[in-house]
A = this chain, B = another copy of it.
């Protein structure tokens, strides 16, 4: 199969009407009335963002989901995406059908379609880049900046399951070995992070600022305060971990430091957001009604940046950043 046949077989079935069957030079999209567009781009590089030799469907799901996470964290709804593929010509025929399958599953789940792309055969490492377009009711994008002193800081999902999933992907094991259920949820957290599409309305209504957790909780919390408004001060004991991750941490030589690792690794793709304390109860109520894991982890206090404090209010030592590539 040549490149054109591969595109026809793998990618054309994923195209929405906006993609004009991938036969034209541009996509054609008629924006909805009274909406702003949200546009994001993220690239995955083999050996940097995912280990070589990974299954194509996993890589595709993770790539599309990380982009979806950016749109969802801003209160938006995903609509369509363009895909740029650069990979070794010899691997294309074997690898791309599974990659396309991963895109298909994910776009069906989140209601977006493929609008266009570009494929290049090369001799070295693979690079996949997605540009995702979503929309939001006009003027309602939840920006990174907007938090105020005294705001609550919330986190969705759990922290660190993705870290353990990443370790499993690279080393094929972690110690202690997780049971089947934990193994599945760690791998799932890494390969299929959950974009926050089930409470965009809540973000739009109550969040004063939001970002998805890609770089690590404290790094992303600091993005929200932008070092200006105050210090996103998080209570270590309030941080949400899964039971499996708690068990893993407890079995380490230094369980506290293990929990810090879980919370600082990044790649969780939950949302960290701020809201006025007067909305605390309604957010708890929505979380309970929709069975969402939303945790109140701290508040914006005088100061700058972000910090994590222990039960005595002492600032805990924390890894400098933030996002580490594999």
Contacts and interface: CB of A to CB of B under 8 A. Distances in A.
Contact of A27 (B23, B39, B42, B223): B39
A234 B76 CA distance: 48
A84 B28 contact: no
Interface in A105-142: 115-118, 120-125, 127, 129, 131, 133-134, 138, 141
Nearest to A210: B25
Interface in A50-96: 70-71, 73-74, 76, 82-84, 86
Contacts of A118: 41-43, 129
A19 B236 CA distance: 34
Interface in A14-46: 20, 23-31, 35-43, 45
Nearest to A223: B23
B116 A45 contact: no
A244 B43 CA distance: 42
B43 A25 contact: no
B30 A120 contact: no
A39 B26 contact: yes
B120 A49 contact: yes
A204 interface: no
B40 A116 contact: yes
Contacts of A145: 23-24
A143 B27 contact: no
Copies of this protein in the assembly total 2
A28 B24 contact: no
B40 A29 contact: no
B39 A120 contact: no
A30 B138 contact: yes
B27 A40 contact: yes
Chain A interface, DSSP helix/strand/loop, else mixed: strand
A192 interface: no
Nearest to A125: B124
Interface in A151-165: none
A86 B37 CA distance: 26
Contacts of A82: 39-41, 131
A37 B28 contact: yes
A26 to B, nearest CB: 4
Contacts of A259: none
16 contacts: A20-B144, A23-B144, A25-B74, A26-B76, A27-B40, A31-B35, A39-B133, A40-B116, A41-B82, A42-B84, A43-B86, A43-B120, A45-B86, A49-B120, A84-B129, A120-B325
